[in-house]
Amino acid sequence: MFSTDRAKRLQEELSTRVLRELPSTPPLDYSNLTYVAAFDSAYANSKQYAVVVLYDYVRRAVIERKHAIVEVKVPYIPGLLAFREVPGYMRAYKHLTTKPQIILVDGHGLTHPRSFGIATHLGLVLGVPSIGVAKKHLYGEVFVDPSGRRLIKAHGLVVGEVLVHEGRELYVSIGYRVRLEDAVNTVKSLLVEGIDLPVPLHEADKYSKIIKRQH
């Protein structure tokens, strides 16, 4: 049986490691950035339709779409989304023939009550730098800096920023092994007119719905 107390303790333990490594995180080398992966899920009849989309950052095109269909074992619990979704994402990820250099996750990273949202969890498990992109505020103080940026402070650190694109607020946060400036700049570089999410996440969202309909 799933234990929320045990899950929260695990998040607290692992977040200590992630936060300890944060100051030594190197800048993202955009000159060598080629592949970005994005994850999303759809649900129906106690099943998770977990998908990953691999996006060629240079060619600006989707080059792989993979999925996994798994029985949902964990209920939806705010703050513990990773325990519900990550197992399906890991199965989908294993089907990729090319691995990404950075991943985007529909959810939060360090802007989380225990500094261990799904973006951080998945990045750590896969060993890949990760960025959280959420549609709603979860945790942390939003404040405006002198330049007008809406930043998010959590656990004494500035770990996120609120962007507005196509009328939608996007809560961008550090997931794992990425600096905030690089997380924000990467997301900005993947925003296009007429689509309210970064393109890879938009494609993952579409693909999850297609897989759900097909099954």
Percent helix / strand / coil, the chain, rounded to 5: 35, 30, 35
Please give the pLDDT value at position 170.
98
Domains plus CATH for the chain?
4-214 (3.30.2170.10)
CA distance 104 to 123: 9
Nearest partner of 43 among 71, 14, 78, judged by Cα:
71
Tokens standing for residue 32: 């060598």
Please give the pLDDT value at position 79.
94
> 108, exposed or middle or buried, with CB in 10 Å at 0-12, 13-18, 19+?
buried
Q: What angle do CA 92, 94, 96 make, to 5 degrees?
A: 85
CA distance 38 to 186: 13
Please give the pLDDT value at position 1.
80
8 A C-beta contact, residue 92 and residue 125: no
Please give the pLDDT value at position 36.
98
* Structure-token match 């060629």, residue found: 56
Q: Sign of torsion, CA 191 196 198 202?
A: negative
Q: What is the pTM of this model?
A: 0.97
Q: Which residues of the chain, if any, have pLDDT below 70? A: none
